[in-house]
Structure 1
């Protein structure tokens, strides 16, 4: 369950930042890059900040 939520949140963040880049300011693409780098980092280290946040909010595996 938590992995599905993490993927959904990452996808939502990317879509929102792309829309903001198109309609507001191109600098929002840095947020897209940030999400991508965090996904890449978590694949190597097996640690994800969003997972820790969701667990503290009471979401169970």
Structure 2
């Protein structure tokens, strides 16, 4: 698995968890969904992604998007 795929997997899991929490616990959890979406848009424009940095430090090999 590359950093690119790990970031996409992490973002997908965070979105699904926050949607479930928003439906079953509190609508304020939808703010986490919005934050993840905004972070993905920001990373696509600037190339800076905190999750990618974290996964690189874990030793996952880099892909073409986050070199």
Structure 2 segments unaligned to the other structure (5+ residues):
63-67
RMSD: 0.6
- In terms of fraction of residues, the more helix-rich structure is 1
Scaled by the length of structure 2, the TM-score of the pair is 0.87
Greater RCO structure (CA 8 Å; 6+ sep): 2
Matches for 1:1-61 after TM superposition, within 5 Å? 1-61=2-62
Scaled by the length of structure 1, the TM-score of the pair is 0.95
Point out 4+ residue stretches in structure 1 off by more than 6 angstroms.
Answer: none
Structure 1 segments unaligned to the other structure (5+ residues):
none
